[in-house]
Amino acid sequence: MSRQDVQNLLDSADYNEVMGQTVRPTPEQLLKAVEAEERSARRGRLKIFLGYASGVGKSFRMFDEGRRRKIRGQDVIIAATQSVMSPELTQLLRGFEVIPPLDGTDHPAIDVPAVLRRRPQICLIDGLAFENPPGAKNRYRWEDVEELLNAGISVVTSINLQFVKERQAEVEAIRGKKVTESVPEAFIRTADEIEIVDAPPEYCVTRSAEAGSALDPATVERQLSELREIALVLAADVVDHQLEEYLHQQGIQQVYGTHERILVCVTPRSNASVMIHRGRRQADRFHGDLYVLYVQQDHLEPEDQKVIDANLAAAREAHAHVEILDDGDPVGAILRFASEHGITQIFVGHSQQRGWLSRWKANPVERLIMEAKGIDVRVFPHQPPRESSAESSQESNQDSSNDLTRDATHDATPTEPQRT
Amino acid sequence: MTIFLGYAAGVGKTYKMLEEAQEARRHGRDVVVGYFEPHGRLDTIQKTEGLEMIPRRKLTYRGREFEEMDTAAILARHPEICAVDEFPHTNVPGAERVKRWEDVMVLLESGISVMTTMNVQHLESLNDQVRDITGIRVRETIPDWVVEQADEVVLIDVPPAALLNRLHRGAIYGKEKAQQAMTNFFKESTLGALREIALRQTAHEVDVRQDGASAAGLTRVTDSAERILIHINESPAAAALIRRGKRVADYLQADCFAVTVVPQGGMAALPREDRESIERHLDFARKLRIETRVLQSESPAEAIVQFARENGIVQIFLSKPANRPIGWMRKNDLVMQVVRLADDRQVTVVAERRPVG
């Protein structure tokens, strides 16, 4: 696209209609998008198949995609395969052109110069995480892949979750095994496409090396299930990241809320430890993110400052993203932060202002509830719950207290678990 | 039961299901296909080769002929495994059961294993979110507790670009290429968001099943620190509130109640329209397996807070009222009243999400 095309696009009446948005990207944003497009046009495309264990079928899916692309007339070659292959896989590889790896060691390295000379449209590389033998130009295979991509060759490759660098500690804690090869997550995020190869754990247990494990099958399945969950969330995060980048590039201000992001607002008076604890748990259950925000107050008493410091330390310990803002308008600051970070839920403490039911001025909590657009607001009490109604709200509730009519169709008591 | 979960038509759910059926057959298992929707896709049709197909049942409705899964015939045949396409399908009136998932429940109860297919957007609790993303309200929904019955949920993942390629392959691009690209990109972002939801939902399904495994029993332990009350009234926003509250309750493994407050004299004292709306919402809550309660009081806020205190409710879910700048500040606004009264409870005010376009 030329600059004139960009202008035409900006002028076109259809643009807004197409986007279903009233926000129109600036020429700078569109130009940026066009430049990014041009960059990616020169660079080869990277597609990664991600699996959570050996035996889920990554290699098969990858080579099967190569086969289908070949049928569609694309120029596909293979530069690396796994050393041990199933009969189905061997069958699938028939008819492919293979550029043999450099031999001489037990760590075969891709013959990068040969691939560059051959210049295929698409190069299939099984096992992205391999470490090259000493003396090779690049230490890691993913660096070889980077070279091919820069030369305009598209790469389709596969990786097992346990080789994703940033996830290795987690994976090791589950499996109790250490692996040395690794690929940085940042490289995986550069993929144009990531595809997860999902299967039930029992599938891997019966079809792969996992079968030879000394552990009992139930334990192995449980471990695999945890790895599977991590892999799915990793893929979701990559997709989320790509989506955000894309929307940003297109100048679209749209929060899909696909990813739960919880913002806990702490003050010296709020019951911050409960709020952070609940926030952490909810974020974990939803595979979401936790943010803790403190908007600085002037003239804080020393003991209040101590409370805040302790709360922020607890927040960091809970692996929350902690942010301290200085703003004369705390509610405004919270709302701005929330909209910038795609927050889906705000946790806030009850307002301490007495007599705030005055109808002239909304208290901060009221304002937050009123002005938070598309965001849930969860208000937390400062004191522990009162368990009985005996002494509370008596006067006006006398009428209703004896009229708790049970719903006829349900006979479970409130203390019973809901699902049996 | 195994569910093959996708996020759009054409990701390959049916293909994968049939492949698994073939695999099971090769291992000597007794497999039949109970219902199959070919959609004219040749490679998928080929996958049925050699599998026993149970003929569909023909039904006439308003002079037209419809075909549905023949549940009775499958029960009579009683295979070990039955493959059933399109789990969320609604049967034509006149069939024994309204929903195909109800037919599947019957098969499961008789001891037949089922593999089936569905897209994530048919999950009840995601209905509002899906509408926000796509602008479309999905009508054929499956309650979350039905999906929970599955032993396995397997994700069928395909990047949106590849999916669009599949759809457009062979199609000739017009000269308005740039604009068409924009259209595609827009679709791609929608598909991307749906895909992300499918990935997260599958992660959740995997997570929930681990909990089940570790509890060593089948009964799920609920977290008493997170008991939830959902307030129901006649407002159309109640449905979204019920879904959101139930979804949070499910994720937090919390007990969940739906409570409505009616004046002294009960439901009968309400205007007909309000009564019908409230009854519809209560009925919807029950379908999602939420316990419902009808309280009688002239002060809804006080009744809700009292019920919360008596029943150990930790979190009260309320809808944010429509933005009425004048009425809002008035002290008779329910949300503000509850927030003020329930100073020992958590109150969650659920915002209305903004649909796209």
pLDDT in tens, A241-295: 888 877 777 766 666 778 899 999 998 888 898 999 999 999 998 989 999 999 9
Check whether residue B26 and residue B106 sit in a common domain: yes
Q: Contact, B278 vs B242, CB < 8 A?
A: no
> What pLDDT is stored for residue A1 in this prediction?
46
**Is B162 an interface residue toward A (CB < 8 Å)?**
yes
Check whether residue B166 and residue B52 sit in a common domain: yes
> What pLDDT is stored for residue B336 in this prediction?
84
Q: Residues, chain B, total?
A: 357
CA–CA–CA angle B290, B295, B300 (5° rounding): 105
Extended beta strands in A2-51, E state: 46-51
> What pLDDT is stored for residue A382 in this prediction?
80
Greater confidence (B226 vs B315) lies with B315
**Residue the block writes with tokens 């949920």:** B153
Q: Contact, B236 vs B278, CB < 8 A?
A: no
Confidence check: pLDDT of B163 > 60: yes
Q: Is A287 in Cβ contact with B203 (below 8 Å)?
A: yes
Greater confidence (A50 vs A25) lies with A50
**Token pair of A420 as six digits:** 């049996």
Check whether residue B162 and residue B298 sit in a common domain: no
| CA B350/CA B74 separation, integer angstroms | 45
Check whether residue B171 and residue B253 sit in a common domain: no
Kindly state whether residue B30 falls inside one of the protein's structural domains.
yes
Q: Name, in order, each residue with C-beta under 8 angstroms of A215's C-beta and a sequence gap of 6 or more.
A: A223
Residues of the domain holding B119: 2-214
Strands A154-160 and A122-125: parallel
> What pLDDT is stored for residue A401 in this prediction?
32
Q: Is B353 in Cβ contact with A374 (below 8 Å)?
A: yes
Comparing CA positions, the residue from A50, A15, A361 lying closest to residue A189 is: A50
Check whether residue B191 and residue B291 sit in a common domain: no
Strands B2-6 and B152-155: parallel
Comparing CA positions, the residue from A183, A163, A285 lying closest to residue A231 is: A163
**Token pair of A354 as six digits:** 């007495």
Confidence check: pLDDT of B356 > 70: no
Confidence check: pLDDT of A45 > 60: yes
Q: Which of A194, A400, A420 sits opposite B306 (nearest CB)?
A: A400
Domain boundary among B194, B214, B234: B214
Greater confidence (B270 vs A399) lies with B270
Q: Contact, A131 vs A137, CB < 8 A?
A: no
Greater confidence (A46 vs A30) lies with A46
Comparing A160-169, A335-344, B296-305, the range with the smallest average pLDDT is: A160-169
Q: Is A383 in Cβ contact with B345 (below 8 Å)?
A: no
pLDDT band of residue B322 (cuts 50, 70, 90) is low
Q: How many helices (H) and strands (E) does chain A have?
A: 16, 12
Domain boundary among B187, B214, B241: B214
Chain B residues close to A52, C-beta within 8 Å: none
Q: Return the CATH number at B160.
A: 3.40.50.300
Q: Which of A228, A380, A393 sits opposite B306 (nearest CB)?
A: A393
ipTM reported for the complex, 2 dp = 0.82
Kindly state whether residue B167 falls inside one of the protein's structural domains.
yes
**Is B279 an interface residue toward A (CB < 8 Å)?**
no
Kindly state whether residue B356 falls inside one of the protein's structural domains.
no
CA–CA–CA angle A13, A16, A18 (5° rounding): 100
User: What percentage of chain B carries pLDDT values higher than 70?
Assistant: 86
Check whether residue B19 and residue B59 sit in a common domain: yes
Q: Which of B169, B193, B309 sits opposite A258 (nearest CB)?
A: B193
Kindly state whether residue B357 falls inside one of the protein's structural domains.
no
Check whether residue B290 and residue B182 sit in a common domain: no
| CA B112/CA B117 separation, integer angstroms | 16
Check whether residue B158 and residue B88 sit in a common domain: yes
Q: Contact, B84 vs B100, CB < 8 A?
A: yes
Chain B residues close to A243, C-beta within 8 Å: 189, 192-193, 196
**Is B171 an interface residue toward A (CB < 8 Å)?**
no
Check whether residue B137 and residue B277 sit in a common domain: no
> What pLDDT is stored for residue A14 in this prediction?
38
pLDDT band of residue B154 (cuts 50, 70, 90) is very high
Helices (H), A43-191: 58-71, 87-93, 112-118, 141-150, 168-175, 185-189
Number of domains in chain B: 2
Confidence check: pLDDT of B240 > 50: yes
Q: Which of A1, A239, A382 sits opposite B195 (nearest CB)?
A: A239
Check whether residue B127 and residue B155 sit in a common domain: yes
Check whether residue B230 and residue B261 sit in a common domain: yes
- Structure confidence by residue, pLDDT tens digits, B33-84: 999 988 777 788 889 999 999 999 999 999 999 999 999 999 999 999 999 9
- Structure confidence by residue, pLDDT tens digits, A135-162: 888 999 999 999 999 999 999 999 999 8
Comparing CA positions, the residue from B261, B259, B311, B254 lying closest to residue B282 is: B259
Kindly state whether residue B219 falls inside one of the protein's structural domains.
no
Q: How many CA atoms lie within 13 Å of B242's alpha carbon, on the beta-carbon side? A: 30
- Structure confidence by residue, pLDDT tens digits, B8-29: 888 889 999 999 999 999 999 9
Kindly state whether residue B56 falls inside one of the protein's structural domains.
yes
Q: Which of B157, B182, B202 sits opposite A195 (nearest CB)?
A: B157
pLDDT band of residue B231 (cuts 50, 70, 90) is very high
Structural domains in chain A? 44-249 (3.40.50.300), 261-353+362-380 (3.40.50.620)
Comparing A19-33, A105-119, B125-139, the range with the smallest average pLDDT is: A19-33
User: What percentage of chain B carries pLDDT values higher than 90?
Assistant: 62
Chain A residues close to B207, C-beta within 8 Å: 229, 285, 287
Kindly state whether residue B26 falls inside one of the protein's structural domains.
yes
Q: Return the CATH number at B282.
A: 3.40.50.620
**Is B204 an interface residue toward A (CB < 8 Å)?**
yes
Q: Is A400 in Cβ contact with B296 (below 8 Å)?
A: yes
Check whether residue B267 and residue B338 sit in a common domain: yes
Q: Is B335 in Cβ contact with A369 (below 8 Å)?
A: yes
Q: To the nearest whole number, what is the mean pLDDT of chain A?
A: 79
> What pLDDT is stored for residue B83 in this prediction?
97
Domain boundary among B214, B234, B256: B214
> What pLDDT is stored for residue A204 in this prediction?
73
Kindly state whether residue B260 falls inside one of the protein's structural domains.
yes
- Structure confidence by residue, pLDDT tens digits, B331-353: 568 888 898 888 889 999 998 76
**Is B136 an interface residue toward A (CB < 8 Å)?**
no
